[in-house]
Structure 1
């Protein structure tokens, strides 16, 4: 076997492989002899079909099968011999495939980029310092009550905070537009779930009223054909309901693991969950700043094969989250919806993997168990969840990757200048959320710039 490697880009290689004709012919002959033993043809006894007939009937297809297998086998041997680390699947094409001649084929593949990791020394990182106070706990309890509220019909006009059940149909220039119609839709006034101004115009309406609602779609509305347009919605109000908050009793607190309805115990449980959420928000905010600095300092060419693999994974996650079922064909979801996120995730994964490699980081079984136990602590019957994770090799490896990622971030954090910033509980949560949104917008803008370039 002769192998030559051509560098076609920093992460792409074209491998040309030659396989001796004698090896191909021997493999074809052996496969045809196997065929002769098992094939049944009219006019011949089993196993007695002449080889000339076998070659005539099956020679071409057999050679194609053998050549396909040999190309796959020799591709693996070639990349091993040349110490290539493929990222994704290759494109393999025969260039010479004739009887009596050496088989020649090319394999075009992407490889993992060689990363010379640049330091983020001196990066400034803000770390929120927040404390949960009693008023935060009280506010959270009110939020939990609203989330578990019931709705009761009332005869009066709708006020902010009420829920109305409506039919509506939207028109632009007296023409109905697609997606602007619904029946029996439940809408909480003041929740901000509809176009700005829509809910305000239903305040004061009663059951049976048919108010016309006039709004202007935001300029950045996701449906471009509606962005910035003035629309009129014809509506019909079927009923008005007011919110009934549940009492804080045993029935209510049992949902949160407090069986006897003890208020102090309930508040303690709520505070514990809020502290977990706060710790996660602070950790994510610090982590995202480190990752942003790492990406800024290290420009990495990301293999398209890895991006495609990540895109497929994100599609499956989305299908699961939206309850589309296991039989749903994820190819129906357009790649463009996930490409930006996939590119960013692959880039970060490559960089953090290099940090792990350079510092020879590892995760012990005890560290993996501790991570899973902390994760399971927010669920009922956490012991079962821990054993489920640790008893499944694939899940355990995912946890190990998460532990290593955190260790890599901690290692990078040693290079940064950390500034503690005092915040309230809500400010800390909002800061983490805002940073996540800014990162998403930044990634989107980078993608647009790349396309324009």
Structure 2
């Protein structure tokens, strides 16, 4: 077997492999002899069919099967010989497959990039810290209480916190616009679910009142034909309802899965959940921030095959997230919607793998168990969850991978310039802005 490799781009390789004709013919003849033992052809007894008849009838199919197997075996033999690590499967093109001649084919594929990690010591990372206060817990209890409020129709002017039932229709330049009309719409004033000024314009109105509101859509509104445009909404109030909050008692607490008899016990349990939420949120944001910085200081080429695979995964996640179900083909979603995010993910994965290899990191067993224990605390039977992960190799390996990634982040933080800023609970649990959006904002500021 002869092998030659050509570098066609930074990551793409074209490997030409030539296999001696004798190897192909030997394999084909061996396969045909096996076929001859059981072949049934009219005019011949089983096992007595002349070889030239067997070859004439089955030779083409046998050769195709042999060539397929030869390509599979010789491709990986050649990779080992040339010490190449392919990223994704190859594209195969036969150059010569004439019978009696050496078989030659070209395999085109991408390889993993060679990575030299950049110095991380100059990177500045702002680490957020937060504590859950009594005021935060009280606000959360109020929110939970309002979730089970009963709405009673009242004969008064609408106030902030009331729910109004209304009809409305929007007009732009005197013409009704699509999506701007609704009848019998329930709206809680102060919920900020409508464009700025809409809810404020309803405060003070009573059932039967009508009003026109002249408002402007936000500049960044998702519908381009309305973004930044001035419109007029004609509204009519059908009814006004005020909330009647339920009592803070054991019956209400049970609706949130909390077994508590007193308000103090309920607050204590809610506080634990909020602290757990803050811890996970801040950890996640810090991890994202560090890994994004890692990509910024390490410019690497990423294999297209890996990016394409990640795009497909993101498409599937999008379909599941928005309830597309089995009726929607994920590939119907444009690839360009996910390409940048996919590139970022692939870059992070390659860089993290390089750090793990270069620093010879292994998942800390103690941290693995601590992570499982933390996850288990959100379930009714924590020990069952712990036992499940420890008895399931696949699930345990996923936790180990998470811990290993956390250890990579820790090693990067140990090198970086880290400062700390204290933020409130609401800010702490707010998701971090996507990296792509952050880059856009930076470019605008330049």
Aligned with 1:442 (options 430, 438, 441): 438
After TM superposition, the score normalised by the length of structure 2 is 0.86
Paired residue total: 444
2:20 is equivalent to residue 24 of structure 1: no
Q: Residues 51 and 272 from structure 1, CA distance in 2 versus in 1: closer, same or farther, beyond 3 angstroms?
A: same
| Residue pair 1:340, 1:447 contacting (<8 A) in 2 also | no
Q: In 1, Cα distance between the equivalents of 2:131 and 2:104?
A: 68
For residue 337 of structure 2, what is the aligned residue in structure 1?
A: 337
2:119 is equivalent to residue 119 of structure 1: yes
Q: In 2, Cα distance between the equivalents of 1:167 and 1:58?
A: 76
| Residue pair 1:162, 1:189 contacting (<8 A) in 2 also | yes
CA RMSD of aligned residues (A): 3.4
For residue 387 of structure 1, what is the aligned residue in structure 2?
A: 387
| Residue pair 2:364, 2:404 contacting (<8 A) in 1 also | no
> What is the deviation of 1:224?
3.0
Aligned-partner SS, 2:374: helix
For residue 349 of structure 1, what is the aligned residue in structure 2?
A: 349
**Runs (5+) with no aligned partner, structure 1:** 449-453
> What is the deviation of 1:420?
3.0
- Per-residue CA deviation, residues 361-416 of structure 1 (Å, 9 max, x unaligned), is 11144432221111221233233333343443333222111100110111111112
**Runs (5+) with no aligned partner, structure 2:** none
| Residue pair 1:390, 1:396 contacting (<8 A) in 2 also | yes
For residue 97 of structure 2, what is the aligned residue in structure 1?
A: 97
For residue 397 of structure 1, what is the aligned residue in structure 2?
A: 397
Q: Residues 30 and 386 from structure 1, CA distance in 2 versus in 1: closer, same or farther, beyond 3 angstroms?
A: same
> What is the deviation of 1:69?
2.9
For residue 406 of structure 1, what is the aligned residue in structure 2?
A: 406
Q: In 2, Cα distance between the equivalents of 1:367 and 1:121?
A: 25
- Per-residue CA deviation, residues 219-278 of structure 1 (Å, 9 max, x unaligned), is 323233443444556667665443333321102222445323222211111211222222
| Residue pair 1:254, 1:261 contacting (<8 A) in 2 also | no
Q: Residues 308 and 36 from structure 1, CA distance in 2 versus in 1: closer, same or farther, beyond 3 angstroms?
A: same
- Per-residue CA deviation, residues 152-208 of structure 1 (Å, 9 max, x unaligned), is 444555443333455666555566655556666543333222333444444456667
Q: In 1, Cα distance between the equivalents of 2:173 and 2:32?
A: 73
Q: Residues 446 and 201 from structure 1, CA distance in 2 versus in 1: closer, same or farther, beyond 3 angstroms?
A: closer
For residue 143 of structure 1, what is the aligned residue in structure 2?
A: 143
Q: Residues 421 and 99 from structure 1, CA distance in 2 versus in 1: closer, same or farther, beyond 3 angstroms?
A: same
For residue 192 of structure 1, what is the aligned residue in structure 2?
A: 192
After TM superposition, the score normalised by the length of structure 1 is 0.84
